Structure 1
């Protein structure tokens, strides 16, 4: 602060030496701003722990190009952790920014616990989500997020998912791989079929709408969603979110991707209108009994704490629509969330499981033997989520461990914070510290895919697909220190734990039962 004081004395003498009052006012104003910046910079430097990390490789990108938003970045994050860790390190990020990377179990638990309060999505992340999915639970923060989560929770209880179990089997049963393979060799576009299964499940289980993609129809919503990322190379799609951190105005520029996002939104709005009409018509009773939206309607009508706020309803509509329609206005933005969060994520996980089992015939044989006990029947919901199918459960979680749908989570500190560590580390100045100080505005990242595959937590064979590890006892490894479902970070943790986790796991297991039976 002595530097700041000397600067203040110098600026004061400069201002008082100027005779012209106008110029004096301008210089005084500029001086105050300059001094504020100096004090802020000094304060920030004093409030953060300087961590070790790799050198910058680019003035523009830092090292960001080495860690694209894919699971391939796990290798690089793990290598840096071995060199600059243990536990935490920093990386030079885009345009001179820095990002703290957390590889420490206690630090990760702290980040997740404070997610939605101290740590939030960046404004650029939220803007991208708003454009794609609206102002739903994926976009919301703080009290708005807590309220939206409470609104959605009744649809994802065990009882609610149990009631949807027949839908999982109905859609899986429409898969025609058996008829295709009966005639001999067949080339099957596996990912397309997985997409068809999951989008039909989302439609029927979410809002009793049959997309009929498994019957040969091509849903407009699927085409619109698939096209949102088709207009730009993967390198551009990976770098765009980083560029928006520095140049948020780029989002406002017209582009093919933005045009396709608008088309996707328009398609879903048309779909919402159709389902809204159905709910208000003669078929409303069936929808209410069998779908997520129906359960949300029933829960909303019985719990006053879930009622609409003025900010969630268009003012003009709030004076002219019946109460049931107002409830629908709150719930229907969730359709986009259901499609986006449940469509590609589950279908990709199913495809990865098929790939891993194809490469591991012993694991495939064990899974077949376990599922053959049902013959022509199919497992109940309690069988799927209980302990009657342990190998299916192990295959499910091993797939989720190696192939999380979100490979990395990035947050920004909304205030100064202290992050505790599991064990002391050495900072960039050679000092031993057992916590790190983070300044407001700091980017903090949790490399989910890297931690899920880290030998530090999962042992020397962490990169192998080995379902048996789930029988040997994850509690015997340091992975036991990780928060999250079954010590995995795949569904995150804390107040923003994936609300559809139970739905996704039950869907995955039910689909795999029929897929494997067709490939026997």
Structure 2
């Protein structure tokens, strides 16, 4: 009699599973080739980079975690112009669009022809559950409408006090560090502090939750975000699945190491979501008794907006899904603040000019909503220039859900040698809008486009830049019907923090202005001082007040 141990059955089932996956991929590959051959007939044939990688095309080069996306797109734009084809594996030809007129058409608030691609929606569902990033059309409109009151000017005005309070908590911690070192200055790793500040601001205003990050606590959520962000934590299988998921989103449901880390981000917020629900229920009961509701947090307001006749229509899972706001607000704000401090170090004249404006206009008082919105023009210029040069999102992805004709501001050459001012886009075709390349394009911004010059915002922008319809003519917050709902919240968060930093401290790079700044590559890239392990940005900080 034959005998088999457990490992035999495990290996047998694993082999069957692998063969099923291979067979599945082969069938989908053949179907994909057939569909793409038809789409190539319908879509305008353009020049573009070539690739011999039948599985991935050039996706490994343009993945955020590759570290080469911006440079790759810049070289391709120089070679092929503002609109070109991009091989993306399995016979797929995506479209890269850097033409201002075409971008406005794709992101137009009046059309829903172009959606977020399926793999991006599956990815956010795994990370957060079905929140605002998961839906299109009516579902997206419903959630935007529900969230809008939490991001109104009146709501954000009430958050400024929280932002200022947290800035002073950080100041107290920094003063203690400086006081412990002789000479009135200290080297402080600022990026982690910007993480802590952004997390605490989002925690209190977003969820009425105090993480204690500014008091030395290490919330589990930060560990979950950091593990997900680090490409070093991705094994070979995870990388393969991540790249293949662009064409086969269902693969993201496989239990790889990386997808497990993504789910860890989701469940790190579950306790907080449950607390928000309990508070909302209690306040609805209190309101029924005629007393004033006090919880004005973003998710608290969302729960109330979704309530009907005092009964909650939102489940804990639905509340949990709104922690997508954390990823959108926490990562982007902390990264942009860190870049702002780096640029102030590189440009000491900008740092001093900003400090003088803050001290002259505020006279030592806490910044208000009105002051950071309208009363500090050079602060606004520094903010806009930081977002232009160092926008945290480098590539907007869309997919055509029906055939369309894309208008261009300048004609391009097709592969047949003809010139055209319109591009036929086939249903299912992927779209890349490389925002960093567009925000720093010499054609749009002039010959000094790559330079950090806040003064450009104090005069009239070039006609090319004005052709971009995004917030203040940059694409860092997107454009059109899916523009960043929390952009005014993010700007208030950023500006209040920067005001409170420059009024109390001066900043220098550890090796002066020549300090080399690199990037730590992940789902969203972070700055780092070259030679440091991980995304660390130590700066020499001294008190000036």
TM-score over 0.5 (shorter chain): yes
Cα distance in 1, alignment partners of residues 463 and 68 from structure 2: 24
Higher gyration radius (CA): 1
Post-superposition offset of 1:178: 3.0
Change (3 A) 1:73 1:264: closer
Post-superposition offset of 1:298: 5.0
2:476 matches 1:479 = no
Change (3 A) 1:235 1:465: farther
Contact 2:306 2:313 survives alignment (8 Å): no
In the alignment, structure 2 segments of 5+ residues that lack a partner are 1-30, 506-543
Q: What is the CA RMSD across the aligned residues, in angstroms?
A: 2.7
Change (3 A) 1:41 1:167: closer
Partner of 2:99: 104
2:397 matches 1:396 = no
Partner of 1:83: 79
473, 480, 489: which is aligned to 1:503?
489
**Cα offsets for 1:293-329 (capped at 9, x unmatched):** 343355456xxxxx6xxxxxxxxxxxxxx84332465
Partner of 1:14: none
455, 458, 476: which is aligned to 1:490?
476
Could you say what secondary structure the match of 1:274 adopts? Answer: helix
Partner of 1:314: none
Cα distance in 1, alignment partners of residues 299 and 250 from structure 2: 36
2:191 matches 1:195 = no
Could you say what secondary structure the match of 1:113 adopts? Answer: coil
2:167 matches 1:178 = no
Post-superposition offset of 1:72: 4.9
The equivalences for 1:5-404 within 5 A come to 44-69=39-64, 72-85=68-81, 87-113=82-108, 117-175=112-170, 176-182=173-179, 183-184=181-182, 185-230=185-230, 232-233=232-233, 241-281=242-282, 288-300=294-306, 323-327=310-314, 329=316, 332-333=319-320, 335-373=322-360, 374-386=362-374, 388-404=375-391
Could you say what secondary structure the match of 2:503 adopts? Answer: helix
Higher strand share: 2
TM-score, normalised relative to structure 1: 0.82
Could you say what secondary structure the match of 1:95 adopts? Answer: coil
Post-superposition offset of 1:401: 0.6
Partner of 2:3: none
Change (3 A) 1:298 1:238: same
**Which one is further off, 255-264 or 500-509?**
255-264
Partner of 1:411: 398
Post-superposition offset of 1:473: 1.6
Post-superposition offset of 1:242: 3.0
Cα distance in 2, alignment partners of residues 39 and 200 from structure 1: 51
TM-score, normalised relative to structure 2: 0.79
Contact 2:42 2:425 survives alignment (8 Å): yes
Could you say what secondary structure the match of 2:410 adopts? Answer: strand
Post-superposition offset of 1:513: 0.9
Partner of 1:31: none
Post-superposition offset of 1:333: 3.3
Could you say what secondary structure the match of 1:127 adopts? Answer: helix
Cα distance in 2, alignment partners of residues 40 and 294 from structure 1: 46
Cα distance in 2, alignment partners of residues 179 and 433 from structure 1: 64
Cα distance in 2, alignment partners of residues 67 and 231 from structure 1: 14
**Which one is further off, 245-254 or 323-332?**
323-332
Contact 2:404 2:426 survives alignment (8 Å): yes
In the alignment, structure 1 segments of 5+ residues that lack a partner are 1-35, 302-306, 308-321
Post-superposition offset of 1:76: 2.4
How many residues align? The count is: 463
